[in-house]
């Protein structure tokens, strides 16, 4: 372990992702490995990494098949990186893509490696199907049976409805509610209107459309399986179209719809992180530095309205350590799981009364013209583990284009968790 004075700066020197695709569209037959290899191959090609031995590659997927053991290492061995490059899998729900960057960044900061790759991938189309619990129990019992007759006796317990496969459920195990179900409670509890949510969602699509038209994403994506841009993006969206959509979770009194909630999505992203010396040696400019990060969790079983609000705590703790205020930033990237979740987070930061419920001081308001300026998850989609890489890459490029400044990042996650990060240039 190095002494604090020897902690090195962690540079973001590269990024790549494949376009994100709505569930059951372009990537319906692509596996996690297929998509992450495509994203990593694009990164390798862009930054001439062929044959290089890196310190480590860390990535993860929230939804994995049982045979996807050692997924990231298998991905690395399917690329042109030096085959001796080690790899590991990390999973922390929607925080995964940022947590992998923290993991690689910490090893660079401590001098344990010079360069590494952080990434994430998820398929909500090509999902694992499990056996029913009853059928699984019967098959295991039959496997343990010592005689043919006892094996047959177990098999005779199987009924036709036991054969139906079970798909992974997008719910919180401790509450039985989906993220959308929780966020519907959030919107009601904190007074976030349908109109506010729809207006926020429309802005995301408009800003991302403009960013594509201006070529902002041109050097950030590798075309894949016929897509060259995120296919969830609705350039023709309007407030009238959004207003016509029916509630998705609370069918009677709900305000969350398919238009103001991020859709189930497939995709992959990755980041190249390095020390300053490594970047200089390899002729790569530093886009931005990762300077601070904070992970937090909140209670959400009794306080069901707070499932996706852990960034309230993470931001307060991180800014205190950094000696900064929420107003000190040139850009803000807040993951748009739902419009209501972003709007609630902003409302709590501005309110002394609401912040006090989380045990922190209010952080104040932000300049909303600096928020998600290139659009975010409502427009791009949200392949769980891949979102962090997309968000960090966008912020790094914004700071590179500006030439200086600070960027604030916030991502909420299942399980009442959330992570924040500061990038500087």
Structure-block tokens of residue 264: 């189930």
Any catalytic annotation for residue 65?
no
Taking a C-beta distance cutoff of 8 angstroms, is the pair 58, 238 a contact?
Answer: no
CATH, residue 35: 3.40.47.10
Cβ pair 373, 204 in contact under 8 A: no
Q: Which two tokens stand for residue 324?
A: 């900064």
Assess if residue 101 is contained within a domain: yes
Q: Do 393 and 299 share a structural domain?
A: yes
> 296 and 391: one domain?
yes
Q: Catalytic: 88?
A: no
Domain extent at residue 368: 179-218+291-420
> Which of 242, 179, 180 lies closest to 206 in space, CA to CA?
242
Q: How many domains does the chain have?
A: 3
157 with 186, same domain: the answer is: no
Among the candidates 281, 314, 333, a domain finishes at 281
From 182, 205, 335, 382, active-site residue: 382
With cut-offs at 50, 70 and 90, classify the pLDDT of residue 1.
very low
Q: Classify residue 337: in a domain, yes or no.
A: yes
Residues 190 and 336 in one domain: yes
Domain shared by 191 and 320, yes or no: yes
Residues 59 and 146 in one domain: no
Task: Identify the pLDDT of residue 215.
Answer: 97
Is the pLDDT at 3 greater than 80? The verdict is no
Domain assignment of residue 243, yes or no? no
Catalytic annotation on 205? no
- Could you tell me whether strands 115-122 and 265-274 are parallel, antiparallel, or unpaired per DSSP bridges? antiparallel
pLDDT over 90, % of the chain: 87
The answer as to whether 255 is a domain residue is: no
Convert the pLDDT of each residue in 237-252 to its tens digit.
999 999 999 999 999 9
| In a domain? residue 193 | yes
Question: Has residue 334 been placed in a domain?
Answer: yes
From the list 182, 205, 335, 412, the catalytic residue is 412
Residue 136 pLDDT level (bands cut at 50, 70, 90): confident
CA distance 45 to 79: 10
| 45 and 80 assigned to the same domain | yes
Q: What are phi and psi of 54, to 5 degrees?
A: -95, 165
Q: Same domain for 361 and 212?
A: yes
Three-state secondary structure string covering 30-43: CCHHHHHHHHHHHH
In terms of domains, do 305 and 356 share one? yes
- Shared domain for 188 and 333, answered yes or no, is yes
Q: What pTM did the predictor assign?
A: 0.94
pLDDT value, residue 160: 83
């Amino acid at each position: 372990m190095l002494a604090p004075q020897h902690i090195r700066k962690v540079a973001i020197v590269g990024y790549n992702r494949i376009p994100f695709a709505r569930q059951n569209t372009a990537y319906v037959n692509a596996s996690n490995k297929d998509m992450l290899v495509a994203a990593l191959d694009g990164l390798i090609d862009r930054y001439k990494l062929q044959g290089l031995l890196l310190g480590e590659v860390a990535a993860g997927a929230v939804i994995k098949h049982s045979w996807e053991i050692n997924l990231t290492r298998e991905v690395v061995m399917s690329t042109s990186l030096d085959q001796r490059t080690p790899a590991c899998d990390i999973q922390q729900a929607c925080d995964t893509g940022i947590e992998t960057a923290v993991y690689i960044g910490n090893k660079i900061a401590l001098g344990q490696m010079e360069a590494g790759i952080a990434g994430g991938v998820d398929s909500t189309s090509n999902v694992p199907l499990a056996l029913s619990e009853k059928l699984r129990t019967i098959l295991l019992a039959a496997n343990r049976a010592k005689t043919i007759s006892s094996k047959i006796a177990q098999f005779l317990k199987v009924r036709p409805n036991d054969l139906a496969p079970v798909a992974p459920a997008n719910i919180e195990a401790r509450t039985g509610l989906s993220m959308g179900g929780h966020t519907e409670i959030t919107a009601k509890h904190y007074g976030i209107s349908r109109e506010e949510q729809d207006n926020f969602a429309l802005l995301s699509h408009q800003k991302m459309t403009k960013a594509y038209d201006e070529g902002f994403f041109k050097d950030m994506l590798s075309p894949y399986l016929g897509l060259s841009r995120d296919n969830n993006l609705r350039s023709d969206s309007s407030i009238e179209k959004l207003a016509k959509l029916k509630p998705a979770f609370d069918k009677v009194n709900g305000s969350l719809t398919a238009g103001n909630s991020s859709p189930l999505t497939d995709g992959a992203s990755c980041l190249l992180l390095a020390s300053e010396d490594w970047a200089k040696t390899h002729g790569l400019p530093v886009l931005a530095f990762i300077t601070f990060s904070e992970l937090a969790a909140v209670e959400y079983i009794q306080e069901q309205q707070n499932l996706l609000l852990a960034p309230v705590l993470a931001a307060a703790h991180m800014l205190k350590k950094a000696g900064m205020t929420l107003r000190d930033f040139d850009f803000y990237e807040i993951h748009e799981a739902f419009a209501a979740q972003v709007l609630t987070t902003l409302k709590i930061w501005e309110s002394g009364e609401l912040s006090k419920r989380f045990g922190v001081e209010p952080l104040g308001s932000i300049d909303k013209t600096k928020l998600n300026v290139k659009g975010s998850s409502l427009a791009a989609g949200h392949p769980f583990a891949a979102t962090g890489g997309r968000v960090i890459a966008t912020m790094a490029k914004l700071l590179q284009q500006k030439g200086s400044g600070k960027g604030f990042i916030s991502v909420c996650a299942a399980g009442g968790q959330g992570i924040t990060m500061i990038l500087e240039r």
